[in-house]
Amino acid sequence: MNELIFVVEEDPEGGYTARALGENIFTQGETMQELKEMIRDAIACHFDSPDLAPKVIRLHFVKEEIFAL
């Protein structure tokens, strides 16, 4: 696997959540820096060998906005 994409969203209670597309990986962090560290840690725990882990991690940010007419 060369690349793994995470969907990143702001958590309504504060911080950020991230979930991987195609893999059962979910993590969260209070800051963007902490989230990146948690993603690295989650990937290391998920893949049995560093050779199986992705070489590139892509973060896709999703922001929902609601407004009235």
**pLDDT tens digits for range 12-24:** 999 999 999 999 9
**pLDDT tens digits for range 41-54:** 999 999 988 888 99
1 has pLDDT over 80:
no
Q: Where are the domains of the chain?
A: 3-62
Which of 66, 64, 59, 67 is closest to 10 using CA atoms? 64
**Confidence band of 66 (pLDDT split at 50, 70, 90):** confident
> What's the predicted TM-score (pTM) here?
0.87
**Is the distance from CB of 30 to CB of 7 less than 8 angstroms?**
no
Burial class of 59 by CB neighbour count within 10 A (0 to 12, 13 to 18, 19+): middle
The pLDDT value recorded for residue 65 is 84
